[in-house]
A and B are shown apart, each in its own frame.
Chain A
């Protein structure tokens, strides 16, 4: 399988997100690696540079390092606990990017735990790999007697804490870093291109990679005694490697004291997780997608195009034109699509039932004309249901925020993966967790439920999910498989009709009384009161990924 890995750090999440969308649109799996250092370590290192600038005396510095180690330092009146090297908004962006990933690629299990905990998400699949690229560096000489701080990717100021941890040794300290010098305290510093001569003299190498075990492994392979941050997972490949807690000066020192007395470590045979080919289902029972459209031919073409690109081949589209301008020509271009035209405008809910009556597939789903599917959508959902004869299943969707440009065209100003949850039979009464196109269900199930409830003219999909959940389990397929559009130029159905949400929701409550469940009922009443007569804040919030200026419509 042709693998293309998307590697992201907190600053590059937005553009990576776009790459991921493009990858998904091609039907290829998104393999994502997230470079995110342990936050406590990176904050400690960032603050340490500050310590040297602000405090002239050794004792003051030592005290500050101690306070940093205990996470109690106060800088300019601000306690450390309130600081972060990562912009909190970047976490949002990264989380959304991470959710786009079909496979999260990590260099160690430690990294997998750290990333999933920090971002608070569950990856669809995790794969552990570390590259085997050897370092072109010498082995240590038998009379090697220096401590070498190995930080080829870092700049001098970031290394203050490390340098202070290593300063009191009688063995001379040499730093290899990307740039910068050490004047106070004065320490010999060299650039990575001169590393060869220096490493031959290393009695011990202090590795400064907070997240990447690669260098620690390769230096060990060369026969060096390595002390490595406990955060980078090198111990999973080198049992018995000496380690240090990167935020603690004393621990850095102790790591060297221990390593000096130990024999060089050996590499363990590490298992690399094989990448499982996604093995997507290409055919099976006929699946019908109901596409409701009304005077948006340009979007319709895009929606149908996304059905045409499905990996799953046994698909029909039922296009319901709700008495809008003719779309015959467009529909004719897609051989799997059939057109049903309403003689007069019926509205969205009755149109959905029109589509359902015309559908012939075993499975049926919705795709509104302004939304689109990624090629794996039907394949993943049908596969899950076929395995156990399931009634319904759901995936995730990205919300795409569009605005009208002065040239009467649409532009994307942001994205968010907000509609990404499983369906909880109780929670569904108070929260609509998914986009309309994210569910696929058996047609017999939908017909048995009586189709869409026409007395609900808004959020009718949600009302259906409630009935669905009351009778069936909805299987959960946690992959992003579609784009749901939100337009903020007053043409979006949902936004223009947002004021109607209150009454529609009241109708849903009326249809589903919960006398036995006072807690949930109270929450619903509260929601109705809040929304009565007030314009609703869109349920999908604001974009986590925002572009300035907006980009052309994909």
Chain B
């Protein structure tokens, strides 16, 4: 089942019949797709992601080529514009073409968050997958190739006929999107037809609609496919047995041998490929499996939690202080874990009574006599915990159902003592509503970095063997609420942190929030300085400088600016008292 967000994603979904859970999204609707993704993960589902992000020059072409070409009056002026675009030499409002083309800022942040939420990428070609993986610096654990023939392309109603023209296929897209291709073929002597919907077409090129296309395609000497983001259209057009020129970024050459690839932003290359296609042999299918797909796989979790012989007990420590409204949601998410042996340890840090909630969820309740802060509450919980592995969940956060099993699997496989997964950051407006999302810290623990700054979002992401605490001691309560950082560093200095590179929890951030920026309080400057004193490394002067600069930065900015970008949802999402994320 595919749920599609955005027009291009819907267009793709129309002809894709993929098994399993798939979210398809293009740049116009990443945020809605994230919300859907979070809901699914919170329900314990995994999903494959079909993501549509154009290659930089294609993005530029899509957005700007039509505007630039429309201002050119003669053919030679259009050629000039195309030449400048091909060289990357265009400037618009003082911005270079490369800057205008790249995906940046918010759109990039959303895309990355979505990529990190997904278990597998549903990709249309190796070219597309490689590009996205490099863009986000992360290979997804598994993926499925879904190659579908574009259903807008008609079926040939008979054998190929005498060839006497070229057809440019844009399907239901506007001719304005393919201005460069049209300019490239404007001067051909052989008649040229363009199948498109609306837009400006040069005088020498004939226009046709999808409904009129079939006889034209059947008698074509060559077809130029203008799809630059998927090979499905080329695969459908190949049925006509006519030589084919394809955009290199479509990845069609991976499935069809003998196509002539071109770069859609380069007029010269379009013309060369078309002249090459004229008179070359029709393309041949390379793979026999075109149109077949496999079920999207999850990241090899099958051997883990479900077939566990002896599950180690995991104790989840949940400190709480006067948050009766949110607490049940957090505990509910522990209850829904697909891991068989979980103990809930609820620590009331001398707030209003929560005994009824503890009872409802069967949690061990630790009542502290006096409010001692985050670290103290965690320490009380660890003292009472019976499990061999300790995990942590603050009262306003939630685990996805595979959080504990993913972490325990990783610990067992690596025989490690400490592991952490990735978390998605949800930004809270009112106490019970989410107003935005951000890809939180999604990388491994690098000691060099950790000597200066907290490497991930805090203990929510971690699972730690209990005996570590016996060896290295409890949380340093003097550092609360930045005690997480010191503990992560203390562990990093003695053990290898294992990294589960998938998002398994939603960490709510209720701190000061403005557009683009999340900050903790200014008190963190002092707390970091205290933490550094515990681990001084006096023989490393450069480290001291880095630390000093970091603390100074906190003071200057009035808080730790988390190294993430985020955005607001168009409508805040109400967090229901029961159930991880409503619905």
Partner of B126, one of A108, A390, A393: A108
| A interface footprint on B507-521 (CB within 8 Å = 1, 0 otherwise) | 000000000000000
Flag whether B159 is at the interface (Cβ < 8 A): no
Which of these binds chain B: A253-261, A313-321, A544-552? Answer: A253-261
Partner of B446, one of A145, A235, A250, A388: A250
A518 to B79, CA, bound (A): 13
Structural contact, A245 and B541, CB atoms closer than 8 A: no
Structural contact, A476 and B275, CB atoms closer than 8 A: yes
Structural contact, A125 and B257, CB atoms closer than 8 A: yes
Flag whether A434 is at the interface (Cβ < 8 A): no
Residues of A within 8 A of B125 (CB): 109
In chain B, what residue has the closest Cβ to A421? B272
Evaluate whether A261 and B499 lie within 8 angstroms (CB atoms) in the complex, with A239-B143, A475-B279 already known.
yes
Evaluate whether A235 and B139 lie within 8 angstroms (CB atoms) in the complex, with A261-B410, A263-B413 already known.
yes
Residues of B within 8 A of A422 (CB): 271-272, 275-276
Residues of B within 8 A of A385 (CB): 279
| B interface footprint on A36-67 (CB within 8 Å = 1, 0 otherwise) | 00000000000000000000011110110000
Flag whether A519 is at the interface (Cβ < 8 A): yes
Structural contact, A253 and B444, CB atoms closer than 8 A: yes
| B interface footprint on A393-416 (CB within 8 Å = 1, 0 otherwise) | 100000000000000000000000
In chain B, what residue has the closest Cβ to A427? B268
Flag whether B142 is at the interface (Cβ < 8 A): yes
Structural contact, B258 and A245, CB atoms closer than 8 A: no
Structural contact, B299 and A240, CB atoms closer than 8 A: yes
In chain B, what residue has the closest Cβ to A471? B189
A342 to B287, CA, bound (A): 58
Structural contact, B444 and A262, CB atoms closer than 8 A: no
Which of these binds chain B: A16-24, A153-161, A164-172, A451-459? Answer: A164-172
Flag whether A426 is at the interface (Cβ < 8 A): yes
Flag whether B484 is at the interface (Cβ < 8 A): no
A373 to B435, CA, bound (A): 70
Chain B contacts with A in 537-565, Cβ cutoff 8 A? 540-543
Size of interface on A: residues with Cβ below 8 Å to B? 72
Structural contact, B275 and A423, CB atoms closer than 8 A: yes
Residues of B within 8 A of A181 (CB): none
Flag whether A212 is at the interface (Cβ < 8 A): no
| B interface footprint on A248-286 (CB within 8 Å = 1, 0 otherwise) | 001101100110111101000001011010010000000
Flag whether A203 is at the interface (Cβ < 8 A): yes
A292 to B91, CA, bound (A): 51
Structural contact, B445 and A145, CB atoms closer than 8 A: no
Chain B contacts with A in 455-508, Cβ cutoff 8 A? 494-501
Structural contact, A476 and B76, CB atoms closer than 8 A: no
Majority secondary structure, A binding face: mixed
Chain B contacts with A in 177-219, Cβ cutoff 8 A? 187-190
Chain B contacts with A in 129-163, Cβ cutoff 8 A? 129-130, 133-134, 137, 139-143, 163
Residues of B within 8 A of A236 (CB): 126
A476 to B497, CA, bound (A): 58
Flag whether A474 is at the interface (Cβ < 8 A): yes
- Smallest Cβ distance from A196 to chain B, in angstroms? 23
Flag whether B360 is at the interface (Cβ < 8 A): no
Partner of B286, one of A258, A261, A273: A273
Structural contact, B286 and A230, CB atoms closer than 8 A: no
A477 to B243, CA, bound (A): 13
Partner of A263, one of B133, B134, B303: B303
Chain B contacts with A in 243-274, Cβ cutoff 8 A? 251, 253-254, 257-258, 261-262, 268-269, 271-273
Partner of B127, one of A109, A262, A279, A474: A109
Structural contact, A388 and B278, CB atoms closer than 8 A: yes
Residue among B261, B268, B273, B444 with most chain A CB within 10 A: B444
Residues of B within 8 A of A108 (CB): 126
Which of these binds chain A: B32-40, B339-347, B370-378, B414-422? Answer: B414-422
A476 to B496, CA, bound (A): 59
Flag whether A447 is at the interface (Cβ < 8 A): no
Chain A contacts with B in 435-481, Cβ cutoff 8 A? 471-478
Flag whether B443 is at the interface (Cβ < 8 A): yes
Flag whether B309 is at the interface (Cβ < 8 A): no
Residues of B within 8 A of A482 (CB): none
- Smallest Cβ distance from B526 to chain A, in angstroms? 25
A428 to B38, CA, bound (A): 57
Evaluate whether A473 and B189 lie within 8 angstroms (CB atoms) in the complex, with A108-B126, A260-B416 already known.
yes
Residues of A within 8 A of B19 (CB): none
Flag whether B93 is at the interface (Cβ < 8 A): no
Listed by A's residue number, 7 A-B pairs whose Cβ atoms lie within 8 Å are A240-B142, A260-B413, A262-B299, A263-B304, A274-B286, A384-B279, A422-B271
A interface, CB within 8 angstroms of B: 57-60, 62-63, 108-110, 113, 122, 125-126, 128, 145, 168-171, 203, 230, 233, 235-236, 239-243, 245, 250-251, 253-254, 257-258, 260-263, 265, 271, 273-274, 276, 279, 383-388, 390, 393, 421-426, 471-478, 517-520
| 5 additional contacts (CB under 8 A) given A233-B126, A241-B139, A260-B410 | A62-B448, A109-B127, A109-B251, A240-B297, A475-B279
